[in-house]
Structure 1
Amino acid sequence: MGPFWRVLLQRNAVLPAADAEPSVCAVPLNLRAFVDTADPYGCGAQGFKVGGTPSWAQGPAHFRCACGADPVHVCQMPESMEFAVLPGQPVQPDGVDVGTYLLFLGNEVYFLACPDHCDPATVRPVNQN
């Protein structure tokens, strides 16, 4: 498990947006500690998680930051994770439920980032299905 929290400490950090997201309902993020043990293929537990070992749906993705560092796993979002929408929003085409949206086309998404936090833009989403 890498030091996932280091990528959150950006030198040029900005404040959160003043306006709320207009379509998707905000929900509290409750984190709890767990031991993420990799299986024989090097994959961790499935589900939404911060830190730990990615569960790689299609095998590990390898990238290198422009600064030369190997990115670390920050978090992952499981496939078909539904987000409740606010009343009055249009129905998502090809969605699974009228009252929810799927992000990233319902794919499993892993967020990798430069551990040297050379630039905030070095967070890389990796989609797999």
Structure 2
Amino acid sequence: MLLQRHAALPAAETEPSLCALPLTLQTFEDTLDPHGLGAQTFKVGGTPSWAQDPAHYKCACGTDLVYVCQVPEGMEFGADTDGLFLGNETYLLACPSHCDPAAVWPVNQN
């Protein structure tokens, strides 16, 4: 989904402040809060837990983008606890028409 037509080659050296960790996906019951928001955790699918108002965007092809996954605010990804996305809650929206492999839009909220 995040493949680009003209993808850059990997860097010759690894980024010292980020460390690779295994990713394990498991089934998760996404319980909604009284406002209809999903759980505030790293997740693929389910219901977003919008930090602000829900975001609505259209793809260049005209199709409404749909929620795919989220990274909660303050999630630590580095050995020195650097916050990815400046500590914001981040959501990925994608084109359900699959018009282009790069039809994914990041949304940051705080």
TM-score range, shorter chain: 0.7 to 0.9
Report how many aligned residue pairs link the two structures. 106
Among 31, 40, 44, the residue aligned to 1:46:
40
Query: C-alpha separation between the residues in 1 aligned to 2:10 and 2:43?
Result: 23
Matched, 1:125 2:106: yes
Which residue type is aligned with residue 69 of structure 1?
T
Matched, 1:114 2:107: no
Query: C-alpha separation between the residues in 1 aligned to 2:11 and 2:51?
Result: 35
Contact 2:2 2:104 in 1 (8 A): no
Corresponding residue SS for 2:107: strand
RMSD: 2.3
Give TM-score scaled by structure 1 length: 0.71
Query: C-alpha separation between the residues in 1 aligned to 2:35 and 2:90?
Result: 19
Seq. identity, %: 63
Matched, 1:33 2:14: no
Contact 1:112 1:123 in 2 (8 A): yes
Query: C-alpha separation between the residues in 2 aligned to 1:104 and 1:68?
Result: 27
Change over 3 Å in CA distance of 1:53–1:121 after alignment to 2: same
Among 43, 59, 63, the residue aligned to 1:65:
59
- 1:61-110 Cα offsets, whole Å, 9 max, x none, are 1111111111111110000111123xxxxxxxxxxxxx221111100001
Decide which structure has the larger Cα Rg and report it: 1
Which residue type is aligned with residue 95 of structure 2?
C
- Residue 120 of structure 1: CA displacement? 2.6
- Residue 19 of structure 1: CA displacement? 5.6
Query: C-alpha separation between the residues in 1 aligned to 2:15 and 2:71?
Result: 21
Bigger share in helix:
1
- Residue 125 of structure 1: CA displacement? 0.7
